Every structure is written in structure tokens, then in C-alpha cells.
């Protein structure tokens, strides 16, 4: 089952510029979905449409099996969100901020203390938000989003401005919310190294369109195609023997076979040995998520 599904979703700015281009987003229930792309790729526009903050122009959107046109109240009562900067009352305490939203959501008052503990702010409920660090404000904003026990959480660049410790804490919190509380989470980001550590599914968007969408395992299959590096006695001689479009000369003693399958690697190794070119090492070259991202977006 899909928690979020769009079909040919398209949105244009008043200038005519296409912000979202025929997007078919699929977020499986129970997943942590990393919605990735450079700034200006269309991520925030997409999320604002999903939450009903922008009116859908073209295409279809289904959230939790419902449409915003017909079941807006049902959908919004089951979604928690953090879009751009946290919306908090700085002159109030954390507990007082939650009290406002508790009245709006009409949820039980015991949830306020529960969510503060859930996000690691259980001992600062009486502290004014103006004295909070950015990381603490992000946690409090998440507490607000969790107050009504949502099935789906949508987070837009939640690690913006956080220091390394704050990023680690946020990552652990997202993982806990998903694994321990069963919340489906859609998190957009351009900080690829952080997202890579928590997501189960990935969508890479560029100029409003998908460059890739699938599981982390499917992304790994792309990463494994990065190539295999050979260290040999004479790479120039090897190039003449293995003359093909997959050969990349790196140095007089090293070359890479790009996107080489195991049988091609074995064949190359045999050819070199038969021609008395010594093979000292054969090392798979995997890409990190950032490298794949740069390749997919042609950045």
C-alpha cells in the first residue's frame, strides 16, 4: 500500500516556469522515503501541494488512499509536517506552545508530555522557546507535528542549520519514529550523506522531474556499476588489449573498467595474464549517494 501517490503531478509558477513536471511520486506505507534534489529542484513545491498549501494544477494526488479535494479533513488529521522553518511562539514555553496545538487538534492533554519525551525534550517543557538552540526548536516543531499521533510525517529539510550533533540526534529520532512507532516518513533534503543513513526508499528530483525512484537496494545496483579499478604493470599496453568504451585510463599503472560485469572482469584479467601483463589488484569502485546524485542530476 502507498501512503502517498501522485500521477503526472505538474505545477507552474505564474511566470510559466515549471516547478513540478509530471511527477509520479510513490511513498510505500512504513517507509522512510528520501526526497532528494538540489535547491530549486521542486521538492518544497511538491510537499506544499501534498499538504494542501498549494492548489494542485494538473495531475492526481492520493494520500492515505484519499484525495485532498474530497477528504481534506481526514488527510490533515493524520499527517504531521514540518515545512521550512519551525512555526513556534518564542515568548512561550515549550509546554505552552504544545497546549495551543493540543486545543487545535483536540487531542488528549497527556500527549503533550508524551511527545516532549519522545523528541528528547522532556526536562525542558517549562523553558521559553527563545532560549532554545536551533536543534531544540526543530525537536519541538517535531513534537507539535506528532501531537495528534499522525500516520504520516512530512519533513522539509529538517536538518537545515543543525550542527553535526544535531544532525545525528535528528537522524536517530527519525529512525525511532519509523521503527518503534510505525510512522511513514517523507523527508526532503539536499544533505545526501545524512539521508543515506536512514532511508529505505529514494526519489531523486531535478528540474521538477524524477531522475530516479526506488529502494535503497535498487540505488545500490547503480552504485555498484561505478566500475572496477585494475592495478597492473603496464596500463597503456592493457588499454590496447582491452580497447573498448568501458576502459578508463587513470595512470600508467592503473585503469578502470566502467560498468563491467563479473564475466567481463574475469575475461580482462585472463587476457592481461596471457599477455604477461601483471595484475596486482582488482578493486570494485562503489559510489556514495552524493556521487550517484551528481551523476543522475548531471550536476
Q: How many helices (H) and strands (E) does the chain have?
A: 11, 14
pLDDT for residue 298 is more than 60: no
How does 251-276 read in b/e, with b if 16+ C-beta sit within 10 Å? eeebbbbeebeeeebeebbeebeeee
Q: If you average pLDDT over every residue of the chain, what do you get? A: 89
CA dist 63 and 5 (Å) reads 6
pLDDT at site 218: 86
pLDDT for residue 217 is more than 90: no
Output 168 or 128, whichever has higher pLDDT: 128
Q: Are 184 and 178 in contact (CB under 8 A)?
A: yes
pLDDT at site 275: 94
pLDDT at site 214: 94
Q: How large a percentage of the chain has pLDDT more than 90?
A: 61
Say how many CA atoms lie within 13 Å of 14 toward its Cβ. Answer: 1
Fold of 2-215: Rossmann fold (3.40.50)
Dihedral in degrees, nearest 10, Cα atoms 64, 67, 70, 76: 50
Other residues' Cβ atoms within 10 Å of the Cβ of residue 45 = 19
pLDDT for residue 287 is more than 70: no
The arithmetic mean of pLDDT across residues 188-192, rounded, is 81
pLDDT at site 299: 52
Domain boundaries, given as residue ranges, for the chain: 2-215, 227-297
The arithmetic mean of pLDDT across residues 222-250, rounded, is 83
pLDDT at site 125: 87
pLDDT at site 169: 85
pLDDT for residue 38 is more than 90: no
Q: What is the pTM of this model?
A: 0.79
Q: Which listed CATH number (3.30.70, 3.30.870, 2.60.40, 1.25.40) goes with 227-297? A: 3.30.70
pLDDT for residue 286 is more than 70: no
DSSP 8-state code for residue 287: P
Please write down the HEC assignment for all residues of 194-233. Answer: HHHCCCCEEEEEECCEEEEEEEHHHHHHHHHHHCEEEEEC
The arithmetic mean of pLDDT across residues 65-81, rounded, is 93
The arithmetic mean of pLDDT across residues 37-42, rounded, is 88
pLDDT at site 294: 66
Amino acid at each position: 500500500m502507498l501512503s502517498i501517490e501522485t500521477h503526472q503531478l505538474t505545477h507552474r509558477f505564474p511566470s510559466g516556469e515549471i516547478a513540478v513536471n509530471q511527477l509520479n511520486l510513490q511513498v510505500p506505507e512504513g517507509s522512510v522515503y528520501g526526497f532528494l534534489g538540489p535547491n530549486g529542484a521542486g521538492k518544497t513545491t511538491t510537499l506544499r501541494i501534498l499538504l494542501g498549501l498549494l492548489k494542485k494544477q494538473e495531475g492526481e494526488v492520493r494520500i492515505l488512499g484519499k484525495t485532498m479535494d474530497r477528504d481534506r479533513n481526514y488527510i490533515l488529521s493524520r499527517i504531521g509536517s514540518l515545512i521550512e522553518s519551525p512555526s513556534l511562539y518564542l515568548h512561550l514555553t515549550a509546554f505552552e506552545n504544545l497546549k495551543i496545538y493540543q486545543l487545535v487538534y483536540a487531542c488528549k492533554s497527556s500527549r503533550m508530555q508524551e511527545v516532549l519525551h519522545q523528541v528528547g525534550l522532556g526536562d525542558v517543557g517549562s523553558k521559553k522557546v527563545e532560549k532554545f538552540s536551533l536543534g531544540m526548536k526543530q525537536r519541538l516543531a517535531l513534537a507539535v507535528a506528532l501531537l495528534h499521533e499522525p500516520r504520516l510525517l512530512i519533513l522539509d529539510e529538517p536538518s537545515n542549520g543543525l550542527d553535526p550533533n544535531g544532525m545525528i540526534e535528528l537522524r536517530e529520532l527519525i529512525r525511532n519514529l519509523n521503527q518503534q512507532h510505525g510512522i511513514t516518513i517523507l523527508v526532503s533534503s539536499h544533505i545526501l550523506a545524512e539521508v543515506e543513513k536512514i532511508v529505505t526508499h529514494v526519489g531523486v528530483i531535478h528540474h521538477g522531474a524524477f531522475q530516479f525512484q526506488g529502494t535503497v537496494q535498487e540505488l545500490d545496483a547503480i552504485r555498484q556499476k561505478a566500475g572496477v579499478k585494475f592495478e597492473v604493470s603496464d596500463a597503456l599496453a592493457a588499454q590496447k588489449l582491452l580497447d573498448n568504451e568501458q576502459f578508463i585510463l587513470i595512470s600508467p599503472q592503473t585503469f578502470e573498467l566502467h560498468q563491467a560485469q563479473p564475466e567481463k572482469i574475469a575475461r580482462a584479467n585472463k587476457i592481461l595474464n596471457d599477455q604477461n601483463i601483471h595484475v596486482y589488484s582488482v578493486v570494485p569502485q562503489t559510489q556514495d549517494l552524493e556521487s550517484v546524485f551528481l551523476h543522475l542530476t548531471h550536476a
